[in-house]
Structure 1
Amino acid sequence: MTSSVPSDSGPHPDSGEPEATAGHGPGQPLPPADADPAFDPGARFRQFFNDPRWALAMLRATVLEAAHPQIGAALIDSSTFVAHPWRRLRNTLLSMQRMFGADDEVRQREAARLNRMHARLSGTDARDQPYDAMDPQVRAWVVATMYESAVTMYRLSGQPLDQSTMEGLYAEFQAFLAVLGDQAGHLPPTLQEFWPYYDRVVEEELENTEALRIILYKLFDHLPAPAVLEGLPTVWAAGRALAGPVLGAVTVASLPESFRRRAGLPELPGARTLTQSAYLAIGLARFLPDDWIQAEAVAGLLTLSPDSDDPRARTVTAVRDGIKRAGALIRLITPLPAEPPSTGSTDSAGSRRGAEEFFHAVLDQTGDGYLTWPDLAAMARELSGRLDLDEPEETRLYNAYADWWKELQTALDSDGDGRVSAEEYAAAVPTLAGPALIRVADVLFDATDTDGDQSIDADEYRALFRTGFGRDLADTGGTCSRSAFVKDFLSFMSGRERSKAYDPLLAQA
């Protein structure tokens, strides 16, 4: 079978040829044989979180996952990766940190949450083929792409892993899959058996799916600005125009050659050299101070709203002011197409927004142009993750959103196609704030009010919104009552008013 890495990037990992040990030190000891290797304090997997090259590797792995028909269908139907990529990035990072942290109780709770989430992702694709996120073979493929992309990351960086290190790393990924409850056998038991399995899936099962094309082309071309750069369209458009094509070319060139050929993915001249150069250059960032490249800090900064009371927001505001001045200069030197005008009025809290803007910014969570159940399920998923809900609170929230979807279908789906268009929504805006939406607000209040005292204090409020009380939300005594919470939730979710709290929660990318 064709090698799963570019032919000029070294020997196939299962060749048995001696290679240099990569990582943060030669001869790094592997976890004891009787330990759970993925969760050992010295596990290599943990080192990936703050390795800048891991971003490229995970992008590559995501493309390979999206090329699997079942995963691609689930992404198209239910994922928010197009409309809210930065929020998805932060949530994924948080989940991985919980899974590979030192606290076994946190790990087990996160594994249970992931299983509940995946159990809700099933259906049929556009060709009436079924997909199920709990399919053990599908879950095994997700882990396989992560492992193989990690090995490729080191190879393209000029630090190929030796055989024993690859075996130790493979054991860590197997342990990760085991924590999710999957039985042994869905991933090959040994590394020697893994490579034929990997090549077989690449050759026989992967396709040029719609999700793959969106990630490689549409996502890069239309990637929304992170929260920290909102309001700076010229600067963001200029950076995206330069970085997008490079990321796309690097990702495509790093994919297995046989798949590129079968899927008809173009490879630009010099793309392989560019790919290796990108991994080498980004790898140099590892020598920066640790607090500069902490993944959690970087992700938090990207999603930090300038209106937040986080102390870093003041620094962000100062940086944004400087970038705005630079953006004015860029516009003079290289005029870019104007950003489409907003259909709302202003960004201040309490201002009214246009119905179409609210539909696309808040309701259409998956970005497919329609309001369907997966959009409301994505809201429930985001809120459940923010509050780290267990059962039965999580199911109560999902059920409340499901009831709201039924109410919306009855009121807004005028053509009976099972979805609500922006036009159908705009024609019946007042019907949004019905009894089912009030029920959603009540359930969300109960989930946020962890001590059950019928008021939300500052800590509970911050758990949901990641910021302090807004002056217009806090009741006297430093708490938020049920009535104040429900009123603000209804005003926002019915599209009546903006909210400095809810915009970052459900509207920001």
Structure 2
Amino acid sequence: MTTSDTTNPGTDAGPEPVAGPDSRLHTFFNDPRWALAMVRATVLEAAHPQIGAALIDNSTFVAHPWRRLHNTFLSMQRMIGADAQVRGREAARLNRMHERLKGTDPRSRPYDAMDPGARAWVVATLYESSVTMCRLSGQPLDQAFMEELYAEFRAVLATMGDEPGQLPDSLPEFWQYFDRTVEEELENTEAMRIILYKLFDHLPAPPLLSGFPTLWATGRAVAGPVVGAIAVASLPESFRRRAGLPEMPGAQTLMQGTYLAVGLARFLPAGWIQPEAVIDLLALSPDSDDPRARTVAALHSRMKRAGALLRLITPLPAQSAPASRTASATDSAQRQDAEGFFRQVLDQTGNGSLDWPDLAAMARELAGRLDLDEPEETRLYHAFADWWRELQSALDSDGDGSISAQEYAAAAPGLAGPALIRVAETLFEVTDRNGDQQIDADEYRTLFRTAFHRDVSGAGGVTYTRSAFVREFLTFMSGRQRSTPFDPLLAGA
């Protein structure tokens, strides 16, 4: 097992382990059951008042769940990897992100994503759900394994810079801490209810299945309630009663059967169940330059032709001649397009209005994709903050501190002001890592994770000048054009 030179406080076990390929924690990373454990852990996190409030106000998990899944997986992969420098860099990035997440909940209670107790609870839910996952699937962990795993989770918290005492020193003390937190601090929060009763029922299709809306909707209608029921059944019984969470008949049997069935996937070939491969495949867009995208595009094309043939041979009801398009009809269509852009791109948190957390989420996504260090990340956040002030000044007609879809649609054509131009220029500068004033193939892929829609073979692969990048970004962010790489970047689920 990989070890560090630090000692685990309160024990005589010697050096405290860190994550890596030989760690206990890493054995769970490719275990399909861990997906169920992560859902359970997320529900328990969201039931914590501070974490639940931060999720509601700042997270994109409702509007962009697949993107959030990809980013969470990437962060976890870095945090449990063998490279100490990568772990430290990711911990610093997460801390910078959490420092920006502060506010008050609907009951006027302050929340702070840097609160030591809340951060410790996140790690605690991951550990407890991992142990519970094994128990529910009929393979309970022995005491030695649980203690080693617990030490590794404490090491992850220490990597984040938190004081060791935020989680108890010993495993018996941890179980007391966990039970006490469940009994005294957890609540039936809005974030928890959304995860259990809305998220899975309304989960948008991942890019891979975006061309099959009927198929996705049918599968979601069946699977969504089942996933929610399994998550509820797996929660501590005392909390279920106190939070008033209904448990459907047979849910316990269904839950245990699901854990057992998913556990059998461990015997499949390793390449089939690696989470990185699965998540990347789900996030694959048909127009990506990934070789697998050709197969996806061909499948999408065949499905569309089959649908067209079906419509051709199916009698259609008689339709009246379309009316000529009047100026008012054109204006109405433009407003609908603007409101659609508002919902899919600008409203990143999915709460129905445009607020600073929505633009902060854009900055966070862009900074994460580019893996920016602190100075560049701060520049990008400041540029988006200036744009938010510009938008408020121009669009917040009722002065309520947020912008509605109607306020945006009424003024959408004139959005490309100086602050938005500065956002585009800043994004170009932080993407252009080598400073040659052009974005090459590798820099482009780092930002967009998709195909170029351009010839990248000539002139050394240089494809994007500053002016072209800024022009395309402004065209997109003002809602005038959706057929650009920025659409999957900021609008994709």
Q: Shared fold by TM > 0.5?
A: yes
**Pair 329,193 (structure 1): closer, same or farther in 2 beyond 3 Å:** farther
Which residues of 2 match residues 390-405 of structure 1 at below 5 A? 390-405=373-388
Shift, 1:132, TM fit: 0.3
* Distance across 1 between alignment mates of 2:305 and 2:172: 56
| Structure 2 stretches lacking a partner, 5+ long | 5-12, 312-333
Shift, 1:475, TM fit: 9.4
* Distance across 1 between alignment mates of 2:307 and 2:269: 29
Higher helix residue share: 2
Aligned residue in 1 for 2:286: 306
Shift, 1:126, TM fit: 1.1
1:497 matches 2:477: no
Shift, 1:455, TM fit: 0.8
Shift, 1:319, TM fit: 3.7
* Distance across 1 between alignment mates of 2:310 and 2:403: 40
Aligned residue in 1 for 2:322: none
* Distance across 2 between alignment mates of 1:327 and 1:470: 27
Shift, 1:125, TM fit: 0.9
2:131 to 129, 148, 151: 151
Shift, 1:44, TM fit: 1.8
* Distance across 1 between alignment mates of 2:456 and 2:399: 39
Aligned residue in 2 for 1:388: 371
Deviations along 1:290-332, one digit per CA (max 9) or x if unpaired, are 111111111111111111111010122234356668989999x
**Pair 314,256 (structure 1): closer, same or farther in 2 beyond 3 Å:** same
Q: Give the alignment's Cα RMSD to 1 decimal.
A: 2.2
* Distance across 2 between alignment mates of 1:172 and 1:237: 40
TM-score (norm 1): 0.87
Aligned residue in 2 for 1:341: none
* Distance across 1 between alignment mates of 2:465 and 2:335: 24
Aligned residue in 2 for 1:126: 106
Paired residues of 1:30 and 1:165 also in contact (CA < 8 A): no
2:412 to 412, 423, 429: 429
* Distance across 2 between alignment mates of 1:329 and 1:66: 47
> What percent identity do the matched residue pairs reach?
73
Paired residues of 2:2 and 2:20 also in contact (CA < 8 A): no
Specify the SS of the correspondent of 2:111: strand
Paired residues of 2:102 and 2:111 also in contact (CA < 8 A): yes
**Pair 257,365 (structure 1): closer, same or farther in 2 beyond 3 Å:** same
* Distance across 2 between alignment mates of 1:367 and 1:108: 32
Shift, 1:368, TM fit: 0.4
1:368 to 343, 351, 360: 351
* Distance across 2 between alignment mates of 1:40 and 1:86: 26
Answer with 390-399 or 309-318: which moved more: 309-318
Deviations along 1:218-260, one digit per CA (max 9) or x if unpaired, are 1111111100111211000000011111101100000000000
Aligned residue in 2 for 1:93: 73
2:267 to 267, 279, 287: 287
TM-score (norm 2): 0.90
Amino acid at match of 2:489: L
1:68 matches 2:51: no
Matched pairs, number: 462
1:249 matches 2:249: no
| Structure 1 stretches lacking a partner, 5+ long | 1-28, 332-350
* Distance across 2 between alignment mates of 1:324 and 1:284: 35
**Pair 322,475 (structure 1): closer, same or farther in 2 beyond 3 Å:** closer
**Pair 352,305 (structure 1): closer, same or farther in 2 beyond 3 Å:** farther
**Pair 464,40 (structure 1): closer, same or farther in 2 beyond 3 Å:** closer
Specify the SS of the correspondent of 1:123: strand
* Distance across 1 between alignment mates of 2:95 and 2:111: 15
Aligned residue in 2 for 1:23: none
**Pair 175,156 (structure 1): closer, same or farther in 2 beyond 3 Å:** same
Shift, 1:100, TM fit: 1.1
Deviations along 1:393-419, one digit per CA (max 9) or x if unpaired, are 000000000000000000000000000
* Distance across 2 between alignment mates of 1:37 and 1:499: 48
Amino acid at match of 1:371: L
Aligned residue in 2 for 1:454: 437
* Distance across 2 between alignment mates of 1:253 and 1:282: 16
Shift, 1:150, TM fit: 0.2
* Distance across 2 between alignment mates of 1:34 and 1:504: 48
